[in-house]
Amino acid sequence: MLFHVRMDVHLPPDLDPEVRADVVAREKAYSQQLQREGKWPHLWRVVGEYSNISVFDVESNDELHELLSGLPLFPYLTIRVTPLATHPSKVPDPPR
């Protein structure tokens, strides 16, 4: 199942710099692990914002919720999820 996910980050301005650095480093490691596993195949920054647009490829709504709630930045995120379906006008992917 594919999901379009927008994440907006809202770190408190008074967050201890060491805590911030730790959370951001753990977020990067976790997100890269999910990318390597193929669960997070697309990740784009939104220009001019502390936000991203992502596509997740997971087995279920529950799996997506588990992955998102496992993000170290989760307490600081506003997340919007849109389930995706194949468009009838999509050109087929080339054979591999």
User: How high is the pLDDT of residue 93?
Assistant: 86
Domain assignment present for residue 9? The answer is yes
b/e burial code for range 46-78 (CB count within 10 A of at least 16 → b): eeeeebbebebebeeeeebeebbeebbbeebbe
Structural domain total, the chain: 1
User: How high is the pLDDT of residue 96?
Assistant: 84
Domain assignment present for residue 92? The answer is no
Cα separation values, 75 from 38, 59, 62, 80, 90, Å = 24, 24, 18, 14, 37
Domain extent, residue 42, equals 2-84
What is the average per-residue pLDDT within 70-87? 97
CATH number at 18 reads: 3.30.70.1060
Predicted confidence (pLDDT) at residue 56 exceeds the cutoff of 90? yes
